[in-house]
Amino acid sequence: MKYYIVDAFTDELFRGNPAGVCLLEKELPDQIMQKIAYENNLAETAFLLKKENTYYLRWFTPEVEIDLCGHATLATAFVVMNYVEPGLMNLDFETQSGKLSVERANDWYTMNFPARMPVETKINPLLEEALGCRVLETYLSRDLLVLAESEKVVENLEVNSNKLADISKDIAFAVIVTAKGTSCDFVSRFFAPNAGVSEDPVTGSAHSTLIPFWSRRLGKTNMTAKQLSPRGGILICEDLGERVNISGKAICYLEGDIVLY
């Protein structure tokens, strides 16, 4: 099968978040897709299968399949619009999270995702020790959202992955640490140690929670966000109520073939 690695939420190589994109010619057993994702050893590997006129999209970390992934969706849309159907400007994917649409405007790709407003929850007393920072508030959706004091605090986190895995394993897929930004509207970092991802460089799906959260706090619907991992990335965000728009750029790092005998 054709295989690509695309750096998402950036237009510079070796920045943003790399995702694998596999173009399937036929259905594969789940266990084979999981083994491929493990072999690729990227935060996400996307598997795309076209049946008639419909694209079906699934996402796997090295250890588990997940229900929603932003950077691998952006990477897949980039591959389809540049290599599979060049010139295509609009695209729909059928996924575990329903229909996801992507629209292209020049070098920007805008994904329409479901909003996941988090609900306030009690702070785990061990969380500050695991993150190495003061925790102001915590909220829960698919992920545990942790509110920190400042952009500088988020940037300088000293995370104990083992402790964070123990705290989050029974309550959330991952942990988002966020704060109001000084260089943008809000910043974040994303950790999913129980899914084989110690830190995800730029996480589109986390912004399904971050966008409605910060939209209400800041009193605005259009925002710019940064993820402060070492690779870093920029996301243009829009709160639409029950949906959100997440926009970013992408660049192809690798094009090749996966050979299964």
Would you state the structure tokens that stand for residue 77, as one six-digit string? 């849309």
Q: How far apart are CA 164 and CA 252, in angstroms?
A: 33
Query: In this structure, are 125 and 229 located in the same domain?
Result: yes
Range in 94-98, 137-141, 169-173, 217-221 the model is least confident about: 169-173
Residues 9 and 96 in one domain: yes
Q: Looking at the structure, do residues 39 and 130 belong to the same domain, yes or no?
A: no
Helix (H, G, I), strand (E, B) or coil at 28: coil
The catalytic residues are 44
Taking the C-alpha atoms of residue 189 and residue 178, their distance in angstroms, rounded to an integer, is 7
- Model confidence at 191, pLDDT cuts 50, 70, 90, reads very high
Same structural domain, 251 and 235: no
Quick one: 184 and 88 in the same domain? Answer: no
Claim to verify: residue 21 and residue 89 sit in the same structural domain? yes
CATH number of the domain within which 104 lies: 3.10.310.10
**Domain interval for residue 139:** 119-239
Handedness of CA 73, 19, 186, 12 (dihedral sign): negative
Residue linked to tokens 């925002």:
223
91 and 61 fall within a common domain: yes
Same domain, 190 and 171: yes
Q: Are residues 44 and 66 in the same domain?
A: yes
pLDDT tens per residue across span 89-103? 999 999 999 999 999
Same domain, 227 and 123: yes
The string of pLDDT tens digits covering residues 198-257 is 999 999 999 999 999 999 999 999 999 999 999 999 999 999 999 999 999 999 999 999
Mention every residue, 6+ apart, whose C-beta is less than 8 A from residue 217. Answer: 180
Q: Give residue 34's pLDDT.
A: 98
